[in-house]
Structure 1
Amino acid sequence: MGTAASTAPRSFSEAPLSLVTASSDGQVRLLDLAADGAPTPIASLPGLTATASDSRFVALTGPNGTLSLADSGVWTWDHGDHQHYYRAAARDLGAVGMSGTAGVASTNARTVIASGTTATVLDRQALGQGRQSALTTATIDAGSFAAPQGERTVLVSGGQAGIIDDAGRAVGQGVACPAASGGALTRAGIVLGCQGGAVVAPEPSSSATAEPPSLEWVPLPDEAAGTKIVSLSNRARRSQVAALDESGGAWLLSVRDRSWTRVTFGAPVVAVSAMDDTHKRVVGIDAEGRVRVWADGAEATVTEPIANPGLAAASGLRVTPKRVYAPGADGASVLEIDAADSARVARTIPAAGLVSFEVVGA
């Protein structure tokens, strides 16, 4: 029997980056990306169809849309100006009483799971101890993102982006967000994807009772007016966010500057993410499975077809400070790609029957 000391989180000097893979046999496995060991099973959900993560907790969608949660046991405690890194035992947290494809977003205190037309706010500290403690639930627009901000929740409901308290009361003024789809949590604020642009909820004062920030509408440039944003993706908490639009076009949103830049790939893409490095790299996968890297305002690299575009469209890409993770063309591996080195494949990680994957610990 383990002791409290043996199960207590261990601290690290660097982020304990790990890969979670979900396979067609329902097995969910965790691989330490800095070690040479084999992946460790952390959950099982036969018929699993999708995953989502906040970089620690992983939502698993089952064959009938039922949702379960797993704790990867690796995370970064973000203090803004510095971070602490931890690893603890991974565990299966069981069903969450929701259904559908999910989105997961967390602060140090709260985790929000958005699925279908419901957002559930959970106590993150309790979740880390293996207990699901719901603080509140809210109705949202199908497909929209929701995220915690202090002791409030940013979401889209009835075509309006807004901020609510735990009693469901609106706090501050809402902003129109038609056809909401996707979002991102960054240190500069929360981003909600909409038709024609995005709504930004700027990072507020640290005081829970402070006046909420004013939501801001950031429209796409005139050339793309009315274009629907399909998904948003960024490196964990970073304020450069990549957007995929309905025609396969890519955009880069600077959350701090409230400005969009068109990412001029040579072909439409099915998945995209932003690395937020000094070259403002954005990485995409096109319909043929080519990896495309955009840097310093131009397309810098195009590979041969090495990725699986179907899996990339379904699961997206994951980025860390130095690597991009994409599903391999064989549908049975995850590629670790060095985007700064002509999109060189640094490692091929076996993942038989791959359905989806997440990078956790960032």
Structure 2
Amino acid sequence: MIPPPSPRFVSPRLVLLPAAVLLVALSGCAAPAPAALEPSADTHGEIAGAAELAEPAVGLTSIDSAGDVSHLDLLDEETADLGSVRAPAAVHSDGRYLFAADASGVSVVDSGVWTWDHVDHFHYYRAEPKLLGDVPGGGVATVATSTSSTTGGTGVFFPDSGEAVLLDTEALSKGEIVESFRLRVAPGPGLVVPAGSFAAIAAADELTLHTADGSTVGDAVSCAEPAGTITTRVGAVIGCRDGALLVLVEGEEPVVERIPYPEGATAPRATAFANREGRPTVAAVAEGAGAWLLDTRARSWTLLPTPEPVVQVTAVDDKDANVLALTADGRVLVLDGETGAQRAASVPLVGASLAAGQPVSLIADQQRAYLNGPVEGRMWEIDFADGARIAREFAPERTPLFFAETGR
């Protein structure tokens, strides 16, 4: 039986900064490079030394098995080498930075392209890409980001040493690695999840809130077996065994809400979330049973049936309620997010990579999806609204073990 929601707790000391949601529309054809503009009057997102652009400078930033970093500009299809970082065991990105983790730390890459969402309009920027340095720690870290690449924090949790680190994201945007706090908790699975200039730490079956200097705010909340996190326009999601916790702000006060799985649910829990960046609905695999959709606005879960078992899923959360899924034989499915019916499917693309246990990522934006195949040595751009058509196929010189869509 699913336990009832825990009481929420509030503290006037916690303030959540406005979230930034980066929505990018790509065409399947190459276009001229973005033109620089004069800085906007409101200066939101402006960083010294960066050029403001007329459109987003969207690219695919990838890291190979040796740690070599490359950036493919999707507008002119030119590739630039950005240098080398630690050989990655895992990589996380917020759409600007890439965080490459191995057993002894995290290397930070600034792709140099990003978007600032000012709610009713957007600002697009390009600066020189940089390798920012390393954050030491024990064990392959989990990394959690917000929807802003210039404000707030970035969370890093090292499972072997139990070190919970909050990085200053504004300092990252200036080329510096600055730790707002580094706390020790019990070793094991855990998360540090930014919430404005504060952070939630989920470890040892509980969640605590902390100010930027590491001070604790309010009382701990239970979160058994924390796994998986994502930030939407509504707030930060943290997966727990019995559902999810949503960390948000009402007025100027922080609130932690529990969103339990539906009563009587027997499908496996969600352990990793994905969506079109910032959108309120997120998706997760319910292994062998379909996909979970979590609507953070409605505070509700839906178990979406899938026509066959899937290994990855992401919610586009567009007007057509598209959900994208990856099958075990490497096909991309386009599903109806209300019924689970299959709308389209690609040919098998990454079956060899999945069979070999290589890291494959399916990333969606407003009009396109992107997929990497380490064994196949390819990256693909997929028009999911046009029958899962392969819009472009890229064969980079360096095998894309991990990649991220950047500039969005």
Bucket of the pairwise TM-score, normalised by the shorter protein: 0.7 to 0.9
Q: Secondary structure at the match of 2:367?
A: coil
**Which of the pair has the greater relative contact order for Cα pairs under 8 Å at 6+ separation?**
2
**Structure 2 counterparts to residues 203-242 of structure 1, below 5 A:** 203-205=249-251, 210-213=252-255, 215-225=256-266, 227-242=268-283
What residue is the counterpart of 1:127 in the other structure? Answer: 172
Q: Say if 1:272 and 1:316, in contact at 8 Å, map to a contact too.
A: no
What residue is the counterpart of 2:127 in the other structure? Answer: 88
Q: 1:28 aligns with which of 49, 60, 69?
A: 69
The one-letter amino acid of 2:198's match is: R
Single out whichever of 219-228 and 195-204 deviates more from structure 2. Answer: 219-228
Provide the rounded CA distance (Å) in 1 between the counterparts of 2:246 and 2:49: 37
What residue is the counterpart of 2:344 in the other structure? Answer: 301
User: Structure 1 residues 49, 246: CA separation in 2 closer, same or farther (over 3 Å shift)?
Assistant: same
User: Structure 1 residues 227, 138: CA separation in 2 closer, same or farther (over 3 Å shift)?
Assistant: farther
Shift in Å, 1:143: 4.0
Q: Say if 2:310 and 2:325, in contact at 8 Å, map to a contact too.
A: yes
User: Structure 1 residues 326, 224: CA separation in 2 closer, same or farther (over 3 Å shift)?
Assistant: farther
Q: Secondary structure at the match of 1:112?
A: strand
Matched, 1:186 2:232: yes
Provide the rounded CA distance (Å) in 2 between the counterparts of 1:229 and 1:128: 32
Single out whichever of 9-18 and 185-194 deviates more from structure 2. Answer: 9-18
Measured against aligned partners, the alpha-carbon deviations of 1:90-118 in whole angstroms (never above 9, x if no partner) come to: 01111112341432303342231323233
Single out whichever of 308-317 and 187-196 deviates more from structure 2. Answer: 308-317
Residues matched between the structures, number? 350
Q: Identity percentage over the alignment?
A: 31
Provide the rounded CA distance (Å) in 2 between the counterparts of 1:142 and 1:270: 25
Give the TM-score, by structure 2 length.
Answer: 0.79
Shift in Å, 1:313: 7.4
Q: Secondary structure at the match of 2:387?
A: coil
Q: Secondary structure at the match of 2:385?
A: coil
Provide the rounded CA distance (Å) in 2 between the counterparts of 1:285 and 1:355: 17
Q: Secondary structure at the match of 1:224?
A: coil
What value does the CA root-mean-square deviation take over the aligned residues?
2.5
What residue is the counterpart of 1:115 in the other structure? Answer: 157
Provide the rounded CA distance (Å) in 1 between the counterparts of 2:357 and 2:249: 30
Gaps (5+ residues) in structure 1? 1-6
**Structure 2 counterparts to residues 268-347 of structure 1, below 5 A:** 268-297=309-338, 298-308=341-351, 310=354, 314-328=359-373, 330-347=375-392
Shift in Å, 1:58: 0.8
User: Structure 1 residues 14, 262: CA separation in 2 closer, same or farther (over 3 Å shift)?
Assistant: farther
Q: Secondary structure at the match of 2:170?
A: helix
What residue is the counterpart of 1:77 in the other structure? Answer: 116
Q: Secondary structure at the match of 2:371?
A: strand
Shift in Å, 1:142: 4.1
What residue is the counterpart of 2:144 in the other structure? Answer: 104
Higher strand proportion (structure 1 or 2): 1
Q: Say if 1:197 and 1:217, in contact at 8 Å, map to a contact too.
A: yes
The one-letter amino acid of 1:129's match is: K
The one-letter amino acid of 1:72's match is: S
What residue is the counterpart of 1:151 in the other structure? Answer: 197
What residue is the counterpart of 2:223 in the other structure? Answer: 177
What residue is the counterpart of 1:4 in the other structure? Answer: none
Shift in Å, 1:237: 1.4
Q: Secondary structure at the match of 1:127?
A: helix
What residue is the counterpart of 1:249 in the other structure? Answer: 290
Shift in Å, 1:29: 0.6
Measured against aligned partners, the alpha-carbon deviations of 1:307-343 in whole angstroms (never above 9, x if no partner) come to: 3452897343211111111124853111111111111
Q: Say if 1:179 and 1:228, in contact at 8 Å, map to a contact too.
A: no
Provide the rounded CA distance (Å) in 2 between the counterparts of 1:318 and 1:354: 14
The one-letter amino acid of 2:253's match is: E
Gaps (5+ residues) in structure 2? 1-47
Provide the rounded CA distance (Å) in 1 between the counterparts of 2:206 and 2:288: 24
Measured against aligned partners, the alpha-carbon deviations of 1:40-95 in whole angstroms (never above 9, x if no partner) come to: 11131363332111111111124x44321111111112333332111100011111
Provide the rounded CA distance (Å) in 1 between the counterparts of 2:88 and 2:203: 28
Provide the rounded CA distance (Å) in 1 between the counterparts of 2:357 and 2:321: 21
Q: Secondary structure at the match of 1:125?
A: helix
What residue is the counterpart of 2:100 in the other structure? Answer: 60
The one-letter amino acid of 2:117's match is: D
